[in-house]
Amino acid sequence: MSATIEQAEAPHQTFDTLLVLDFGSQYSHLITRCLRGLSLYSEMLPCTTKLSELSFKPKGIILSGGPYSVYDADAPHADPAFFDLGVPILGVCYGMQEIAWRLSKENVARSNEREYGQANIMSQRHNSPVDRLFEGLEDAMQVWMSHGDKLNQLPEGFCTIATTQNSPFAGIAHKEQPIFGIQFHPEVTHTPRGKDLLRNFAVRICGAKANWSMSNFCDQEITRIRNLVGPKAQVIGAVSGGVDSTVAAKLLKEAIGSRFHAVLVDNGVMRMNECQQVKQTLAEHLGISLTVVDASQRFLDGLKGTEDPEKKRKFIGNTFIDIFEEEALKIEKKAENTPNAGKVEWFLQGTLYPDVIESISFKGPSQTIKTHHNVGGLPQRMIDGQGLKLIEPLRELFKDEVRQLGRQLGVHEDLVMRHPFPGPGIAIRIIGEVTPDRVRIARQADHIFIGMIREAGLYNEISQAYAGLDTNKAVGVMGDQRQEGYIIILRAVRTTDFMTAEAYPFSMDFLMNVSRRIVNEVDGVALVTYNVTSKPPSTIELQ
């Protein structure tokens, strides 16, 4: 019953949906991302998906790029049934080669000249419906290419709609059916008008409505959750003070009121005043039923003597689940004799779409594709052991969409724009042993650094920032006395996807002021450094 409701009201049932079939390109998800940014709803599925497995009819299909050559023996191919569905199809790079190859194996071959990087295309006008892909765009456009194969010849029934110097078939269109192929990647920012081309495909060719908005999604999601959970069941969820868990919690509160229970576990390695702030925001401001468990001593005792970062992570993760389980049972007991009595049947998880994409993206014929479930650090033991069902209201959303949804739900802007914070908290920003004193130092230094970033108006320009702590001590001189103290490692990065990142270019004055304040105000610090290494080769967190 509940599964049917979920199916009936999933976004792809109510919003016109563009389906991206992923052939393994590192940019595939950007197609979905770009369409969403244009208020067009899109979902990505692996290229191995069969039409019969879809529970919705897409308005159009985009075949992504991919690292294979269509003529390779183990190359992935789309289910031919998609071509008989009668909806428009756009092939991007590998996707175009796939369209050509299925019509004749002679159509695609290895090219002598690889094209990688910028190229200039000329689109050709036919004064016919096939022009719609380039409608409103300049005849000459800059695009971004990355291919080693090419179309040898025009597939039967197609005409050329764009060329480059190297590629006589940089864009093709079927003369009668709405089937298009482009050799370049419209989804990357290096193709400046790529967005408009994708909009042309979705709106002008597929006729999709651009109605994907957070206010529409929000209303629909609240109704869906209400139906899914039913009139009696209880839902529990962990909150951390981060934007994802807060927005998910607020959505549940809107849907089922006090039958949703948020649990905040203070693990002793949260940021300064964080526990208090989360309590204020969730319980007082957002009206969510919140249990705060102060387990800081249990965590700090358990961390004693542990230096290995993986061991720290494991310990914190496992202890967290133990405590959470204990609390869940208590909550169920407490509700027993109240009007809210009902079993805790659901577990709320703030999984985001990038986690889903990561788990389903096509990694090639030789690798098994991971399943959709259990992404994003889910305490599987709870689901299995207590028979809980998962509720993941954010699993279709990208981070910026979660932020919009948060605003929609009245979550305060400061929280909506908050930098990500790792589950194991400050523990992985402290190299070496986590002792109460070292937590104090890292916490105070971080508080000063973040405060100064805010005062300088830089917080929203930076994607993530913190002060970490080294194991080594340096010698300093304070008040004419030799003073040994720890080394603080500041980190601030800019990134769009957290996959790659650059250090933020602070002014030297700013850094010197931060250093001065930290050394003066935080007992036990001798010197402050700024980590300028990009990711890769470094990472954003210290450990």
Footprint of ligand GLN on this chain (CB under 6 A)? 25, 65-69, 93-94, 146-149
Token digits for 538?
A: 């470094």
Q: Which of 277, 270, 353 is nearest to 12 (CA)?
A: 353
Q: Which is nearer to ligand GLN, 180 or 212 (CB)?
A: 180
Say how far apart CA 468 and CA 424 lie, in whole Å.
13
Residue type, 464: Q
Q: Which of 356, 350, 349 is nearest to 44 (CA)?
A: 356
Say whether 499 sits in a helix, a strand or coil: coil
Q: Which is nearer to ligand GLN, 106 or 294 (CB)?
A: 106
Please tell me the number of Cα atoms within 13 Å of 102 on its side-chain side. Answer: 15
Q: What angle do CA 130, 88, 121 make, to 5 degrees?
A: 45
Say whether 331 sits in a helix, a strand or coil: helix
123 and 139 in contact (C-beta within 8 Å)? yes
Shortest Å, Cβ 65 to ligand GLN: 3
Say how far apart CA 100 and CA 86 lie, in whole Å.
17
Helix (H) or strand (E) holding 403: helix 399-408
Q: Which is nearer to ligand GLN, 58 or 65 (CB)?
A: 65
Q: How far is CA 16 from CA 44, 63, 211, 215, 392, in A?
A: 14, 18, 8, 16, 21
93 noted as active-site residue: yes
Q: Which of 139, 203, 202 is nearest to 171 (CA)?
A: 139
Q: What is the 3-state secondary structure (H, E, C) of 25-61?
A: CCCHHHHHHHHHHCCCEEEEEECCCCHHHCCCCCCEE
201 and 180 in contact (C-beta within 8 Å)? yes
CB burial of 391-403 (b: ≥16 within 10 Å; e: otherwise) equals bbbbbbbbbebbb
Of the residues 12, 29, 34, 93, only one is catalytic, namely 93
Q: How far is CA 141 from CA 119, 183, 208, in A?
A: 8, 13, 25
Please name the residue that has the structure tokens 């589950």. 423
Q: Which is nearer to ligand GLN, 94 or 158 (CB)?
A: 94
Contacts of 231 (CB under 8 A, 6+ apart): none
224 and 2 in contact (C-beta within 8 Å)? no
Q: Which is nearer to ligand GLN, 96 or 255 (CB)?
A: 96
Shortest Å, Cβ 169 to ligand GLN: 12
Contacts of 225 (CB under 8 A, 6+ apart): 251, 252, 255, 256, 391, 393
Neighbours of 58 (CB within 10 A): 26
What are the φ/ψ torsions at residue 78 (nearest 5 degrees)? -75, 150
Shortest Å, Cβ 292 to ligand GLN: 50
In the bound state, the residue with its beta carbon closest to ligand GLN is 65
Of the residues 185, 345, 392, 401, only one is catalytic, namely 185
Helix (H) or strand (E) holding 193: none
187 noted as active-site residue: yes
Shortest Å, Cβ 34 to ligand GLN: 16
Q: Helix %, strand %, coil % for the chain, to 5?
A: 40, 25, 40
Q: Which is nearer to ligand GLN, 69 or 220 (CB)?
A: 69
Shortest Å, Cβ 93 to ligand GLN: 3
Q: Which is nearer to ligand GLN, 103 or 218 (CB)?
A: 103
Q: Which is nearer to ligand GLN, 68 or 260 (CB)?
A: 68
126 noted as active-site residue: no
Residue type, 95: G
Q: Which is nearer to ligand GLN, 101 or 320 (CB)?
A: 101
Of the residues 43, 98, 115, 187, only one is catalytic, namely 187
Q: Which is nearer to ligand GLN, 166 or 177 (CB)?
A: 166
Say how far apart CA 75 and CA 468 lie, in whole Å.
46
- Catalytic (active-site) positions: 93, 185, 187
